[in-house]
Amino acid sequence: MNFELTEEQGFIRDSIRDFAEREIRPLAKELDDKQEFSVELTKKMGEMGLFGMIVSPEYGGQGLDYISYIIAVEELARVDSSQAATVAAHNSLGVNPLYYFGTEEQKKKYVPQLCTGEALWGFGLTEPGAGSDSRASKTTAKLENGKWTINGSKIFITNASATISKGSTIQAVSDDKDGKKEFSAIIVEQNTPGFTAKTMHDKMMWRASNTAELYLDDCAVPEGNLLGKRGDGSKIMLNTLDHGRLSIAAMGLGCAQGAFELALNYAKERVQFGKPLSHNQVVANKLGDMALKIELARNLLYKACWLKDNKKPFAKEAAMSKLYCSEIAKQVADEGVQIHGGYGLMKDYDIERFYRDQRLLQIGEGTSEIQRLVVSRHIGCY
């Protein structure tokens, strides 16, 4: 076993950490307060090469391994989950389906522009009545006269309604005979008649990321906008979520690391009973446990990424990583607030934002309950 990062991976960690500290941290609180998605920061992240990191250079990407990509997401989340969410959702959910399942024509048309940070793409799976049960989707797509006519709606779709959003991949029921649904994945560009993307506001977390509701009202797209084969929509979307779980795990790991550092620094500076809080055994034990959980999470996630990079089965480890990293983010952020005391409840302190931001991680891209179900299936319970 070799636990060392390569020289390139170490350089990526250092450069992204420097970028996040220099460009993102000074703006994170203001963007969160204003619920403002930053096109400027997104383009700067694009210039850093953070979009299309695992995409082949043939299609405008960086051609890096998955561990390098996960490190980048981790370092962004260490400072601001909103910017990490933009990168993670775009790479794993936006680009990946097009890159892995698109025709050569589709890949050349969409992927290069999505690797620049000048354009974003959504992943239209979740509906008001279909979350964990993705096969409860009611959005329909009918093929007539060489066109798909789509009707339905989607909700909680990241990167789908920003000014630089260019479209979304939509799961729709393309046939329903005898109660057996056929699902297909269809490409829908932003300005297609009948397609409306509406930004959602007043979120508790990730307030500076873009989240949308999508409405499709007799939205017609060419037959050639089918992604993959007809009837493979559910397979494509669920395969994409396997990759997305690694991204969410990285966000959990980065969020936990950032919350831990905030708590540790505060504990060293805050004096109570004549000594720094960090000299109090109870507080020191809390910080020690936080460091332990983060170390375990990082090793589990990096192993899952190693399996992915080496073309080995990784779905079980991806579910485990997503589950564990998201839940330790919750635990570490909670203890971080506790160590801050009353100040941890005030927006002037970053730990308050970390506490809010971690909460989505146990819900998005498969709840903790669903991850436990996935793991139980992999170990032979069902």
List active site positions. Answer: 365
Question: Which is it for strands 275-276 and 120-124: parallel, antiparallel or unpaired?
Answer: unpaired
Between CA 40 and CA 48 the distance in angstroms is 13
From residue 286, alpha-carbon distances to 267, 328, 374 in Å are: 11, 13, 31
From residue 362, alpha-carbon distances to 14, 90, 138, 143 in Å are: 28, 19, 25, 37
Question: In this structure, what are the phi and psi dihedrals at residue 174, rounded to the nearest 5 degrees?
Answer: -95, -10
User: Cβ of 285: how many Cβ atoms within 10 Å?
Assistant: 10
Q: Is 152 helix (H, G, I), strand (E, B) or coil?
A: strand
Query: Considering Cα of 270, then 271, then 275, then 280, what sign does the dihedral take?
Result: negative
Between CA 319 and CA 304 the distance in angstroms is 9
Q: How many CA atoms lie within 13 A of 96 on its CB side?
A: 23
